[in-house]
Amino acid sequence: MAKRKESTFERLPKGQPLNRRERREVANRLNSPDPGWEIVHPHAAGIDIGNESHYVAVPAGQDEHPIREFGSWTGDLERMGDWLQACGIQSVVMQSTGVYWVAVYDVLQRRGFDVHLVDARGTKNLPGRKSDVQECQWLLKLHTYGLLRRCFLPGEEIRRVRTVWRLRDQHVKEAGRAVQQMQKALTEMNVQLHKTISDLSGVTGQAIVRAILAGERDPARLAALRDRRIQASEAELVQSLRGNWKEDTLFELRQALETYDFYRQQMKQCDAHLGPYLAALPSREPVAAPPPAETPEASSRPPVRRAWRKPRKNPGNQPALDLRTELQRILGVDATGIEGIDVLTVQTVVAEVGADLSAWKTERHWASWLNLAPKREVSGGRVIRHTREHRTNRVGNAFRMAAQSLIRSESYLGARFRYLRAKLGGIKAVKAMARTLACLYYRLVTRGQAWVDRGAAEFERRRQKREFAMLQRKARDFGMQLVPAA
C-alpha cells in the first residue's frame, strides 16, 4: 500500500528547520564572498511568499538554523513572528505575490517590524535561484545592501475604501454582462430593441423588458412605455418589438434580469459601506496656488464656459452619494474642473493612492508609476528601442478612459487629443493624452494649479503659430523668405 503524502499542516507543526543536505546545498551554491557594499539593513530577514508555506531566511549568525519554513495558517504566522523577534530582526522584505502576502504583512506589521513589500520584477531573471529556499536568501541579501525598492502601499483607511470600490467596480462589470445576456436573448427572439434604443439598462429598456416578462406581448402597448427622450418614433418601436416568443429564451431573459437586479442591489450595499469610509478620511486644507502670470493677450480673452447640463434622473452606475463634495473635502481642490476627468475618475484615483501624492517627487515619477511614460532602452547615449510593459495600473487606466472621453469635446484638451490622434494614431494618442491629464491632476493636487480651459480655438491658434514658426525656420535654413499671399 502506497504511503499517504503528508499535508503541509502535518509536515510543519512548529516551523521545522531544513535538513543537513539541504543546508549544505544552500551553503555551497549561495555563499559568496563579501561584495564590500555598505550594509543598509543589518538586522533584516527575507521571506519568500507561497500558497501553502513561506520560507524565511535570517543572517547566518542570528540563529542555529537561519532558514526555516512556516505554514500559511495564522498559528504558524504567529510563530514566525516570535522566531523573528527572538533573532533580533527589525526589517523584513517580501514579494507582492498575489494576495498571499497580505496575511503575513498584517501579522508582522502588528508586531512592529519594518515590512518592505517589493515588486517581483526587481528580482526575477537572475541566475542561481530556482527554489524557494534560494529565493528567500537572495531577497535577504539584496535587502541587506538596500538594493530593493519598496512598493507603494496606501494607509489602512485608504485600503478600506479601495477594497469596497474595487468590489463595486466588479459588480458594475457583472451587471454589464447581464445586460449583454438580456440583449442576446431578445435578439434570439428577433426583438430588435437594441436598434431603436441605445441602452437596454435605461428607463425605456427596463420598462419594456419587465413588461415582456410580466406577460405583455402586444407591440403597441410595449411601445407605449417609451420615454419621451427616445429619438425613435413609436411606430419604429412597434416594428422592432414583433418577435418570436419562445419559452426557453424567455427563461434565459428572466434569469439575466434577476442577475442584473442582484448586482444592482450589491452596488447599493457597497455604496452604504463606502460612505462611512470616505467620511473617515481626513479633510485637507485647500492648496494655495500662485497667481497666474497674466499677459495682455490672455487677459483680453474670456475663459470658455462649460455648457450647463441638466441632472440625469437615472444616474446609471453613479454611486448614491454626493461624491463631488466629499472628494473636494478630501483633496482640498475640485479635480473635476479638468475637462475629461469626472467624479468616478477622481474617486478611482483617491481609492487607489489617497489624497497625498508625496510618494512621487515629480510629475514624471507619477506618470512613470502610472505606466504612462515611454520605456526606452538606452545604450551609449542612444535609444535602442522602445519597450512596452504589460502591467495593469488601475489609476493609469482611469486616466486613459478619461482621455478617450475627449474625442468630441470642444475644449482645449479635446482639440489637443484630436491633434495627437491624427498625428500618432489612436493607441499612442490615448496614452499621451492620459499622461497630460495625470500631470494636470498632479499639479492641481500638489500645488493647487487650477486648469483654465481656453477652448478648441485657442489650441488651433497656437498650433498654427507653431507651424508658421517652423516654416520660417526651414525657409531660413534654405536661404529663402516666406512672402504672404496677396
**What string of DSSP letters covers 143-188?**
HHTT--PBPP---HHHHHHHHHHHHHHHHHHHHHHHHHHHHHHHHH
Strands, sheet with 91-95, edge to edge from the N-terminal-most edge strand: 67-71, 53-57, 44-48, 91-95, 114-118
Instruction: Examine the domain organization and report whether 333 and 402 are in the same domain.
Output: yes
Quick one: 105 and 180 in the same domain? no
Domain termination site, one of 230, 252, 279: 279
Indicate the number of domains in the chain. Answer: 3
Q: Torsion angle, CA of 360/363/368/374, rounded to 10 degrees?
A: -160
461 inside domain: no
Report yes or no on 285 lying in a domain: no
Do 263 and 373 have their domain in common?
no
Q: Which pLDDT does position 311 carry in this prediction?
A: 46
φ/ψ of 154, rounded to 5, equals -70, 170
8 Å CB contact between 216 and 250: no
Q: What is the pLDDT of residue 444?
A: 92
Supply the pLDDT for residue 286.
73
Secondary structure (3-state) at 290? coil
162, 134: one domain? no
Residues 94 and 213 in one domain: no
At residue 128 the predicted structure's pLDDT band, cuts being 50, 70 and 90, is: low
CB 81 within 8 A of CB 18: no
Contact 11/76 with Cβ under 8 angstroms? no
Q: State the SS3 of 46-107.
A: EEECCCCEEEEECCCCCCCCCEEEEECCHHHHHHHHHHHHHCCCCEEEEECCCCCHHHHHHH
132 and 49 in one domain?
yes
The band of 279, judged by pLDDT with boundaries at 50, 70 and 90, is very high
Q: For 64-93, what is the mean pLDDT?
A: 92
Q: Same domain for 137 and 178?
A: no
Give the residue from 256, 279, 302 where a domain finishes: 279
> Cα dist. 141→38, 41, 45, 80, 87 in Å?
12, 10, 9, 19, 17
Lowest-pLDDT choice from 33-37, 72-76, 200-204? 33-37
- Whether residues 26 and 128 fall in one domain: yes
pTM of the model: 0.81
328 in the same domain as 421: yes
Query: Do residues 237 and 192 share a domain?
Result: yes
Q: Which residue has the higher pLDDT, 356 or 311?
A: 356
Own/partner long-range contacts of 96-104 (Cβ < 8 Å, ≥24 apart): 96/120, 96/151, 97/49, 97/50, 100/49, 100/50, 100/51, 100/72, 101/49, 103/72, 103/74, 103/77, 104/47, 104/49, 104/54, 104/77, 104/80
Whole-angstrom distance, CA of residue 168 vs CA of residue 164: 6
Within a domain: residue 308?
no
Does residue 300 lie in a domain region? no
**Do residues 78 and 55 share a domain?**
yes
pLDDT confidence of residue 115: 93
CA distance 201 to 16: 58
- Domain assignment present for residue 397? The answer is yes
Give the residue with greater pLDDT, 222 vs 297.
Answer: 222
The residues with which 150 forms a beta bridge, in sequence order, are 118
Q: What's the gap between Cα 93 and its chain centre?
A: 24
- Condensed to tens digits (0 to 9), the pLDDT of residues 241-259 reads 888 889 999 999 999 999 9
Which residues span the domain enclosing 46?
A: 11-144
Q: Which of 72, 137, 136, 130 is nearest to 106 (CA)?
A: 72
Q: Does pLDDT of 16 surpass 70?
A: no
Q: Specify which of 4-13, 162-171, 334-343, 378-387 reaches the highest per-range mean pLDDT.
A: 162-171
Q: What is the CATH number of the domain that holds 26?
A: 3.30.420
